[in-house]
Structure 1
Amino acid sequence: MLTMTSATYTGLSDGGPAGLIWSFVWTWFGFSTVMLSLAEMASMAPTAGGQYHWVSEFSPPSVQKPLSYFIGWMSTLSWQAGTASGPFLVGTLIQSSVVVMYPDYSPTNWQGTLMVIAVTILVWTLNIWGSKFMPLFQNIMLVVHVFGFLAIIIVFWVLSPRATAEVTFTHFTNEGNWGSTGLALMVGQISAIYACICSDSAAHMAEEIKDAGKTVPRAMMGAYLMNGLLGMVFLVSYMFMVTDVRAALDDASGYPHLWVFSQAVSAGGVVALNAIPTILIFAGTLTFNLSTSRQTWAFARDKGLPFSSWIGHVDPKLQVPANAVTITCLITVILSLINIGSDVAFNAIISLNVVALMITYMFSIGAVLYRRIRHPELLPSCRWSLGKWGVPINIGGVLYSTHAFFWCFWPESTPVALDNFNWAVVMFVAVAILCLLDYVIRGRRHYKGPVVLVEGFKGQ
């Protein structure tokens, strides 16, 4: 929810306050069909593998193996990119606090990258040697989340100057120089999509949760509903305080929310308020890293990745997939290097996260839709079922995922040059080619697909 404070630059530039609000509304409703579909599949087949397992279990037998393999790679890519976005935000938010306190300081991209690497090392350390303390830490962060939300909302409502309701709900911007405001809105909706995605992280912890078939879908939908409702309250409050979009976008810190804070409190107050989303994003990064490493470990366990035996190893003493955590953190460091040569590195990372994730949603929901229409008698029984609404909700999930997949490849602004190019398309195609090569060379011989272990496979 509070992640939105630090991930609204593209939405403000391409859409403005009204664009961010309305894009969040349609994104939340559209993505709810995806979440409902995923929650049902998590109840049918609770597994750390998530989408690639569901594709293997529900798709037509003739394509189960190659499709599952491809979706496993795309799922790994999406979670790795999503994990990289957390340290990027934390590192650059810390750097932005320095800018606020010392206006003469001129931040550089390489310094921000060093901060990202430092945060990643801390995440790696805590997730390997401090995993047993994670439940306590997450409970503490829940309290911080609630009180942090209240603190920022109170500052917004009491101390900040505000725009009129007409401006907030009807003022659209096109700072990216797109051909029309409608096109700018489509490009800027990635801010809203980023706020909604990865609510399925609980699904990848299913093998470590008791009674997962019931608990996981409830946790997924409960978190999605709560964050959506509170997120809407927060976003509307935030957008009321953006009285000058251009000034917010041009703020020296690089983060529009710090400009909003500065209109209400002193420099010290800005840093104190900025500490709230920084701490919470760091906490979310720890959890995200846990889910990502489990998904990567699960796919390696099924021989879906090169060096699968090493990546899929679980440390017998620590009882964590330490090698998968290490690989995840190394990929975060590699992706952070984009920031050295590009001013839109964060947009590229979250675009990569979204497009790879959306293609896994398209195929996994499409697979269960195929099974639901062609062989409904072979759907596994579950305690969290969509019932008669399954077909329309699944169709909605496939359509929305396709919509988001298409728009998240677009650059932030025009004309397109090297410094504002959306490198997500290059990285996505490169990984897809690597996936194809690995399947031809190694995967088709070693990867069997989790469906061979699923009870009832003979029914197909």
Structure 2
Amino acid sequence: MALLGSNATPSGDGALQPRLSTLSTMAMAFAILNTWIALAGSIGLVLPSGSSVALLYGFIFCVLCCFCVAASLGELSSIWPTAGGQYHFVYALCTERWRKPMDYFGSQFISAAAVVASNGSYQITPARTYGIFVAVLVFTTVANIWGNRILGKWNDAALYWSIFGVVIISIVLLSMSDKTSAEFVFTNFNNETGWSDGMAWILGLLQSALSLIAFDVVLHMTEEMPNPSRDAPRAMLYSIVIGGVTGFAFILVMLFCLVDPDTILSTPTGMPIVELILQATKSRAAATILSLMLSVCFINGTNASITSVSRLLYAMARDRGIVFHNYFAHIQSGLNVPVRTIMFCFVFNILFGLLYLGPVVAFSAYVASCTIFLNMSYSVPILVLLVRGRKVLANYQSAKTPFKMGRVFGLIVNIIAALYVVVTSVFFCFPTFLPVTGNNMNYVCVVIGIFAMVVGVYWIFFGKNFLGPQDLIVAEFDGVVGRPVSTQNSSEEDKAEKGSHRELK
């Protein structure tokens, strides 16, 4: 392994292959979102915090806002389609003075969110749940290393499976369950949080926001897409549309079938949706089979998460933005995947998954912090664009640019997107119930503070190694897709290359 900051040249001579279509990439994004499943898992948190009003109308609000966020990032990806995604956008948009520090800290926010969602489908004991998580992680890691050739078809199948699942489960629930009233579905409001009604509604809305996050997986797969400038924006927007349609439909199904909320929320399975299916079918066999359908969706999401994060870490390594960058800036010949960053994801999640065996508040703070880091990574390029003005994009857009929003409409969309991610990030730090105790306190601010200190110290001592996305300047992405990018061999070469780069206006 290369030493920190060493200048050894990576030995790999493989290259990322452009194999993913718009459908495959969009399917990968939706495999991570799985909006309807995320909503089903969070219903126990929403019912005491706004109930039907927060779940239904809050979800519609979040879909519209996330569409603005996806459009804002999609417009930038149409100009700069590389695996670095958000932090490459920041580098391109910032002035020379702020380019490297803003880019570096933005990249670290994305890196911090590099976590695969743990498999909580079976709430038996923490140890057994962790064992299932490890098994899923091993399976999806192996699939990512040796199954790259079928990655596109796997993602397609994951999309079809998820849609098939929501249709089947919805039909079963609607045909076999007793029904609540339309008044409960569309007008019921319940506040058991101790907060004011307005605050309770916002906190309930956050669960809908969670169900629509992580669509940036598309950005980190652009170097494996034949036409990323066109397909990346489409894939992100399509994933929000499909998530919105399936999520809204399943919210209505759940609310109309929620005849016994107390039993559903106090289920020993730990998963209200499983108890809802059991109450409707009156059959443990049927509930088990349908629950396994949900579990397959989680496995598909884990697979897509590892794929996305490994590409992101590879992009950061070739830009010298992480430790041991020369070691991780490596594409395995023959396999044409970044095996080392895939294994890093595996080890990272095995270790941090152990938090699940400890205090609940520690694991919750860790998961919530990843959500906030993702939100921050979305907001930084959008905020930089707003500060500098949308006219800066005119230097890079042409009549052939596939996705453009225009100055006025784009400004409105950018403002909505920025306000949404900033405001929701703030409220993600609030405790969900009052009075606050040691057990229900939201410790995410502590996690973020510790992370900020670590990143700050790293920047002070090793920030000089960070190059930023050099190919962004040299080739304007024409020659980036599908070819290996090696790191430079010496600081002298770095200076010579940077001196020859054409500056962004």
Q: Same fold (TM over 0.5)?
A: yes
Tell me, yes or no, if structure 1 residue 151 matches structure 2 residue 168: yes
Indicate conservation of the 8 Å contact 2:88/2:469, yes or no.
Answer: yes
Tell me, yes or no, if structure 1 residue 385 matches structure 2 residue 404: yes
State the one-letter code of the partner of 2:416. G
Q: What is the Cα-based RMSD across aligned positions, in Å?
A: 2.0
User: Residue 423 of structure 1 aligns with which residue?
Assistant: 443
Indicate conservation of the 8 Å contact 2:433/2:440, yes or no.
Answer: yes
Q: How does 1:251-290 map to 2 (within 5 A)?
A: 251-265=267-281, 266-290=283-307
Question: Would you tell me which structure has more helix in proportion to its own residues?
Answer: 1
1:350–1:172 CA distance, 2 compared to 1 (3 A): farther
1:168–1:335 CA distance, 2 compared to 1 (3 A): farther
Distance in 1 of aligned mates of 2:467 and 2:288: 52
Deviation at 1:305, TM superposition (A): 0.6
SS at match of 1:196: coil
User: Residue 495 of structure 2 aligns with which residue?
Assistant: none
User: Residue 83 of structure 2 aligns with which residue?
Assistant: 48
User: Residue 446 of structure 1 aligns with which residue?
Assistant: 465
State the one-letter code of the partner of 1:425. C
Q: Encode CA deviations 1:355-390: one digit per residue, 9 max, x unaligned.
A: 111111221111223343464542444210011311
User: Residue 52 of structure 2 aligns with which residue?
Assistant: 17
Distance in 2 of aligned mates of 1:451 and 1:67: 15
State the one-letter code of the partner of 2:139. L
Deviation at 1:276, TM superposition (A): 1.5
User: Residue 333 of structure 1 aligns with which residue?
Assistant: 350
User: Residue 135 of structure 2 aligns with which residue?
Assistant: 118
Task: Decide which of 188, 198, 217 is 1:182's aligned counterpart.
Answer: 198
Deviation at 1:437, TM superposition (A): 0.8
State the one-letter code of the partner of 1:304. G
State the one-letter code of the partner of 1:309. N
Deviation at 1:451, TM superposition (A): 5.5
User: Residue 458 of structure 1 aligns with which residue?
Assistant: 503
1:246–1:413 CA distance, 2 compared to 1 (3 A): farther
User: Residue 351 of structure 1 aligns with which residue?
Assistant: 368
User: Residue 21 of structure 2 aligns with which residue?
Assistant: none
Indicate conservation of the 8 Å contact 2:217/2:308, yes or no.
Answer: yes
Deviation at 1:224, TM superposition (A): 1.4
Larger Rg: 2
Distance in 2 of aligned mates of 1:411 and 1:323: 38
Distance in 2 of aligned mates of 1:459 and 1:205: 24
Distance in 2 of aligned mates of 1:373 and 1:163: 49
Task: Decide which of 456, 473, 490 is 1:436's aligned counterpart.
Answer: 456
SS at match of 2:389: helix
Distance in 2 of aligned mates of 1:320 and 1:376: 32
SS at match of 2:267: coil
Tell me, yes or no, if structure 1 residue 166 matches structure 2 residue 183: yes
Distance in 1 of aligned mates of 2:237 and 2:109: 23
Indicate conservation of the 8 Å contact 2:66/2:240, yes or no.
Answer: no
Deviation at 1:347, TM superposition (A): 4.3
User: Residue 104 of structure 1 aligns with which residue?
Assistant: none
Distance in 1 of aligned mates of 2:135 and 2:57: 36
Distance in 2 of aligned mates of 1:377 and 1:144: 41
Tell me, yes or no, if structure 1 residue 2 matches structure 2 residue 36: yes
Deviation at 1:212, TM superposition (A): 0.7
Q: TM-score with structure 2 length normalisation?
A: 0.82
Indicate conservation of the 8 Å contact 1:2/1:277, yes or no.
Answer: no
User: Residue 370 of structure 1 aligns with which residue?
Assistant: 387
Figure out how many residues of one structure are paired with residues of the other and give that number: 440
1:169–1:414 CA distance, 2 compared to 1 (3 A): same
SS at match of 1:25: helix
Tell me, yes or no, if structure 1 residue 69 matches structure 2 residue 89: no
SS at match of 2:211: helix
Distance in 1 of aligned mates of 2:430 and 2:316: 30
Q: How does 1:90-105 map to 2 (within 5 A)?
A: 90=119, 92-93=120-121, 95-96=122-123
Tell me, yes or no, if structure 1 residue 402 matches structure 2 residue 418: no
State the one-letter code of the partner of 1:240. F
Deviation at 1:270, TM superposition (A): 1.0
Distance in 1 of aligned mates of 2:62 and 2:326: 39
SS at match of 1:243: coil
User: Residue 485 of structure 2 aligns with which residue?
Assistant: none
Q: Encode CA deviations 1:137-190: one digit per residue, 9 max, x unaligned.
A: 223223322321211110121111121111122222334x32222212222222
Distance in 1 of aligned mates of 2:160 and 2:68: 29
State the one-letter code of the partner of 2:206. I
1:189–1:435 CA distance, 2 compared to 1 (3 A): same
Q: Encode CA deviations 1:248-298: one digit per residue, 9 max, x unaligned.
A: 221111111112112111111111111122101211211121011111111
- Which 5+ residue runs of structure 1 have no aligned equivalent? 97-106
User: Residue 127 of structure 1 aligns with which residue?
Assistant: 144
Name which of structure 1's ranges 42-51 and 4-13 shifts more when overlaid on structure 2.
4-13
Distance in 1 of aligned mates of 2:360 and 2:462: 38
Indicate conservation of the 8 Å contact 2:44/2:272, yes or no.
Answer: yes
State the one-letter code of the partner of 1:213. S
User: Residue 314 of structure 2 aligns with which residue?
Assistant: 297
Distance in 2 of aligned mates of 1:41 and 1:459: 15
User: Residue 249 of structure 2 aligns with which residue?
Assistant: 233
Distance in 2 of aligned mates of 1:7 and 1:248: 12
